[in-house]
Amino acid sequence: MTDQLTEYPRSRVEENGTVYSLARRAGERVLVVEGDTSGFEGEHVGDGLFAPLTAANAQALRGRLEWLRPQLLGLRLSVGTGDRLGLATPGHLRAVRTHALSRGNAGLAPILAQQSMRENARTGRTPQQVMDDAMWGVFQEGWRAPWAADADHLKSTGDVDLCVAAGYTFYTIDPGDHVDNEAHTASVDVIRRKVEELPWDALEDSADALRRRYLDRTFLVEHLALEFDETSLLRAAAKYGRAIAHTARLYRHLLHALPQDEFELEVSVDETATPTSSLEHFFIASELRRLGVQWVSLAPRYVGRFEKGVDYIPSSGIEGDLDEFDQSLACHGAIARALGPYKLSIHSGSDKFLSLIHIS
């Protein structure tokens, strides 16, 4: 087949006697199928087909080429790219490939389809469009290694359902709206009241049982000796109790939609006003485990600030003063190893090309 095509050479592949490639034709990318064209829609030319990059053709191609389907990554070191417009995946993959070559092929596993519902609303895209755009980028670059698709910052069961239908493999639950930031500095009387008002039925718990589990105990976590007093325990429960209940609810909804071995979960409490302390991280992870939630990654709210286009702003405001962050990260890492193991997720904001690194 000809017709003034400019083929992306890495995309060309033959499978069961049919040749597939991505090419530019009259300024647009098209899928070229030579051989068995059943299931594809487009313009037949000779023994082949020029197929537009539609959702139906994306689905048909995923059915033929298994590496175009996202996979589970487990505890592999991974990087999320957050392609906002659906155009940057080929460049992201080249960056990941270059990184792997520089480290003797011990590279990062990319999470390519990764956009929150908030970002979808702003860009006018759907979870399915995000997935398909990432897949066409994978195809264009001839990427055969595992990659994942992150249904990012999910807040409702409706959001979950849209992403399940689109075939996502990684689900980031964002319970930030249910974190009580006031509890971080509220008086003891106020946090006692907040604890009394927690949804204890949803937490399958009671205030007395909570105290029995945590008070008058020392939790040894590698180099840490964690101890709750009455105030720190009630503050952690008041701050994160509703968020934990919400996370468990969305996780159980996911379990009704997908088998456990077909998705991975991240819990993200990073988009909150106050940092997550070591005690609070331990509390969150312990309570999620008690409720039967299984996850592979957790994103605490770190000290300092990650912002758009900015690497990091320490809480002291002094550029380069990273000691507090390093010490905090070491404590969070110890808890993740002890109560998991699971990865720590650093959500570093957008507009930095590679925007999310999971650290195990």
For residue 84, give the amino acid letter.
Answer: R
Quickly list H helices, the chain. 55-64, 89-102, 117-123, 127-141, 157-166, 188-196, 200-203, 207-214, 230-257, 278-290, 323-339
Catalytic hit among 152, 174, 180, 280? 152
DSSP for 260-276, written as a single string: GGG-EEEEE--SSSS--
- Is 152 among the residues known to form the active site? yes
Catalytic hit among 266, 270, 280, 287? 266
The number of residues in the chain equals 360
* CA distances, 58 to each of 158, 191, 192, 215, 350 (Å): 24, 52, 54, 55, 27
- Is 66 among the residues known to form the active site? no
Question: How far, in Å, CA of 16 to CA of 63, rounded?
Answer: 13
Compute the half-sphere exposure of residue 8: CA atoms within 13 Å on the CB side of its CA: 22
Residues forming a β-bridge with 20: 13, 33
Catalytic residues, by residue number, are 152, 266
